[in-house]
Structure 1
Amino acid sequence: MNELTANMKTEEAIKEKIKESRFESINGKDLMEMDLPPLHYTISTILPHGFFILAGGAKVGKSWLAEQISYAVASGGQIWGYQAIQSEVLYLGLEDTVTRLQSRFEMLEAYEGMENIHFVLKANSITSGVEEDIRDYLTLHPNIKLVVIDTLQHIRGNEFVKNIYAGDVEFTNILRQISMEFDLTILALTHTNKGKHDDDISKISGSEGMAGGTDGNWVLTKSKRTDTRANLTISNRDTEAFEFALEFDKESCRWNKLTRDESVVNEKERFLHAIVNFVKAEEAHHWEGTATELLTILQAREPILVSYSAAVFSKSLKAAQDSLREIYGVSYVSAFHNKKKWITLDYIEVK
């Protein structure tokens, strides 16, 4: 057998092997000519079908938000002016009891449409059969278009922890596949990591494979756990991004969206409180240094300041000096010292 014949046989063998490839492909022309259905939504504009994470710190109020969303869908109501598409809901309240769930939905004044929510309080992990359990339940109840998992950690098997990134990718892919097959939304609650992060999405517990493997991520953050106001960052693959300033109404137990004016007031209050609380905690209620130094310290304590540059922070601080002095009793003095703009802050009680 000469070299040419050998090469031809090798090429034929390769072609035969390629024919057996498990890749399913589509060429660009056929793709562009396909008549595809529009994106389906569970809540118009902000929550399409797919797999989504709702993350937040402990006791931040993410379960209340998930319950509020669930009831809006079950009753065909609205949330912050966005229409929910009425359907049945599968709610895996894996940290709840029937007593707690009844109490919380009573506080939400949830009555009409409650027959559309199916509650499950115990479930296996992914590696012990919950994937099959969810699929079977959805097959028996085809009108379910929202699945809530509170929390994700309860169904994550230990096998996925061995290689965190690869495990997160595989785990999220399983849930994403279910959402695509049944054409619905899965909203899974999880925690956020502590420490300084570049943005709210990077706070989501787990590796980058967790947040990166979803169809969207919702992150609920507060400055302090006791605050009633919070920021909700929404980053979806197939919609525009959203950022809402919310306030928790303790009487109705609902998250309400603040107006733009209220959001501005909220930001200014948090800005002022961050400075006042810092100065009051300093020895002798006194601090001095540059705006950059002060901003670096405060950014680790107040998430709203992360987006501030030193120039913007310095300008905002100067503009707030009257409020700091007259309302909060903090004096602000700015002067050049060794070719640097030096800031001096002192706390003196308001008379």
Structure 2
Amino acid sequence: MHGLDASPWAQTKTNDAKKDHEDKWFSCGARKNGAYRRNTALAAYQRAKQEEAEQLDGFAALAANLPAGGVFTAAELDKMDLPPVQWAVPGLLPAGLSFLVAAPKMGKSWLALDLCLSVAAGGEWLGRKVNQGPTLYLDLEDSANRAQARMRTLLDGFTAAPETCTFRLLAPVLGAELFKILDEWAVANPGAKVVCVDTFQKIKPAAGKNETSYGADYRICSPLQSWAQQHNICVLLVHHNNKNKGSVDIFDGVNGSQGLTGTADAVLLLTKSEGRFAEDATLSITGRDVDTEQYLARFDKTTCHWELLGTVDEQTKQSFESSPAVLTIKELTAGGKWQGTVQELADEVLTRYPDAGLPMSPQGLGRYFNNLWPDLKYHGIKHGIVRGAKHRTHTLARK
């Protein structure tokens, strides 16, 4: 009855209650078999449910260009001409919902603001060419003064501030009002590429009564992911990590339940193994359309820009090959087999590279070279050991 009263019928009422009742339920034109009122009631009910969903989720239902409301056969799917995955930063940030996670005061806001400025201007971010387009930066933890100072630092005082990067210092909790703001901005900025929320905790609503943390996180993030995919925009949520150091999966370090990472199309986790004051960090990336990879990243304290130094594997290999000990072993085995003790090998290294920084104690040298032996085989050098009564003799030879 609520749905029917909200229909156009409600505008045709008279003062005759009996007549209104007859018109509404039994005398709908010439069709008195009830089909008209049943179909109209169903349409009113569906409309009311749609309006309720829009009010709860804060965005209109997705208008997917798929047959039969998203139901299709494998053969139909194979014939579909689907657009390719859209990227804000190719290989790093696809359209959809992404998280940038790091410890407090570690430089993630510099990284997020640099993204918005770079995409708006059409430059590079982390050494990758971006796809240019309007950006929105919800800077919810800073004042206008601090936002201006950070922007001027990143722009170096020479680059003009892009007109297509919009700042917003206040935002409501994630819901209908926030989605209305995002919708209006997306309409006013066609071709928009990035919406960055710094930080997610500022817009995250509270969990419902008797709701699990996983269920709450999934419910909260799902509408935002749908909005991002609908508008083909990368929504990046800046978030904090936790102190979970016992997990095998590093992405368990995201603060919150797996409902957050479960809805995300990409997760970028920035960590430092040597404390927050270290310049180098590890950027771990995973996602649905993103290759899982780990990069070494460095923060330039002068320009406040982050840069990628390469993958962790590349840097480890490069560091191994350029170490004084490996260079010495390659020289010693170039003319044939070499034999000797760990101390004799250390003396050979220090003769060639006095600043090699090898451990001073025999125990330290033993641990250092024990970590070195296994990787020599990948460089064509075979390691052997003979245990004598007083010492161990190591043999190194080219394969």
Normalising to structure 1: TM-score of the pair? Answer: 0.68
- Note if 1:171 corresponds to 2:213: no
More moved, 71-80 vs 128-137: 128-137
Distance 1:248 1:160 in 2: 40
Match of 1:237 in 2: 288
Residues in 2 aligned to 1:199 and 1:26: alpha-carbon distance in whole angstroms: 36
Does residue 136 of the first structure (1) align with residue 188 of the second (2)? no
Unaligned runs of 5+ in 2: 1-45, 47-67, 321-344, 368-399
Which residue of the other structure, out of 105, 126, 147, is the alignment partner of 2:174? 126
Q: Is the 8 A contact 2:298 2:307 kept in 1?
A: yes
Q: Which amino acid aligns with 1:70?
A: C
Does 1:256 pair with 2:303? no
Report deviation, 1:114: 2.0
Structure 2 residue aligned with 1:54: 100
User: Per-residue displacement from partner, 1:253-300 (whole Å, max 9, x unpaired)?
Assistant: 1011225699339988xxxxxxxxxxxxxxxxxxxxxxxxxxxxxxxx
CA deviations 1:183-227 (Å, max 9, x no partner) are 111011101110212122111111011111111111000111111
**Counterpart amino acid of 1:60?**
M
**Aligned partners of 1:206 and 1:59: how far apart in 2?**
19
**Per-residue Cα deviation, 1:13-54 (whole angstroms, up to 9, x for no partner):** xxxxxxx9x974111110110011111111122211111000
- After the TM superposition, which of the residue ranges 118-127 and 146-155 deviates more from structure 2? 118-127
Q: Structure 2 residue aligned with 1:106, among 152, 161, 176?
A: 152
Instruction: Tell me the number of residue pairs that the alignment of Structure 1 and Structure 2 aligns.
Output: 265
CA distance in 2 between partners of 1:56 and 1:256 (Å): 16
Structure 2 matches for 1:43-82, cutoff 5 A?
43-82=89-128
Question: Alignment partner for residue 247 of structure 1, among 288, 291, 298?
Answer: 298
Other structure's SS at 2:207 match? helix
CA distance in 1, matches of 2:208, 2:229: 22
Amino acid at match of 2:249: D
Alignment partners' CA distance in 1, 2:76 and 2:161: 43
SS at 2:238 equivalent: strand
Offset of residue 332 of structure 1: 1.9
- Highest Rg: 1 or 2? 2
Match of 1:155 among 203, 216, 219: 203
Q: Is the 8 A contact 2:295 2:310 kept in 1?
A: no
AA in 1 matched with 2:263: G
Identity %: 29
Alpha-carbon distance in structure 2 between the residues aligned to 1:251 and 1:266: 26
**RMSD over equivalenced CA pairs, Å:** 3.0
Q: Any idea what SS the aligned residue of 2:284 has?
A: strand
Instruction: Tell me the residue number matched to 1:190.
Output: 239
Task: For residue 129 of structure 1, give the secondary structure of its aligned residue in structure 2.
Answer: helix
Q: CA deviation at 1:75?
A: 1.0
**Counterpart in the other structure of 1:212:** 262
2:356 & 2:128 partners in 1: Cα distance? 42
Give the whole-Å Cα distance in 1 for the aligned partners of 2:111 and 2:346. 34
Partners of 1:72 and 1:142 in 2: CA distance = 17
Cα separation, partners in 2 of 1:34 and 1:265, compared to 1, 3 Å: closer
Asked if the contact 2:127/2:308 (under 8 Å) is kept, the reply is no
Q: CA 1:200 to 1:267, structure 2 compared with 1: closer, same or farther past 3 Å?
A: farther
Q: What TM-score, normalized to structure 2? A: 0.60
Q: Is 2:278 aligned against 1:227?
A: yes
Aligned mate of 1:41, from 72, 77, 87 = 87
Larger displacement relative to structure 2 (229-238 or 105-114)? 105-114
Q: 1:320 to 1:92 in 2, by over 3 A?
A: farther
Secondary structure at the counterpart of residue 108 of structure 1: helix
SS of 1:209's equivalent?
helix
Q: In the alignment, does 2:91 pair up with 1:91? A: no
Query: Partner amino acid for 1:122?
Result: L
Residue 246 of structure 1 contacts residue 257 of structure 1 at CA under 8 Å; is this kept in 2?
yes
Deviation digits for residues 103-132 of structure 1, max 9, x if unmatched? Answer: 111111263352111000011101472222
* Aligned partners of 1:74 and 1:113 also within 8 Å: no
CA distance, structure 1, for counterparts of residue 148 and residue 306 of structure 2: 19
1:332 aligns to 2:363 (yes or no): yes
Q: Is the 8 A contact 1:128 1:157 kept in 2?
A: no
Give 3-state SS (helix, strand or coil) of 2:163's partner.
Answer: helix
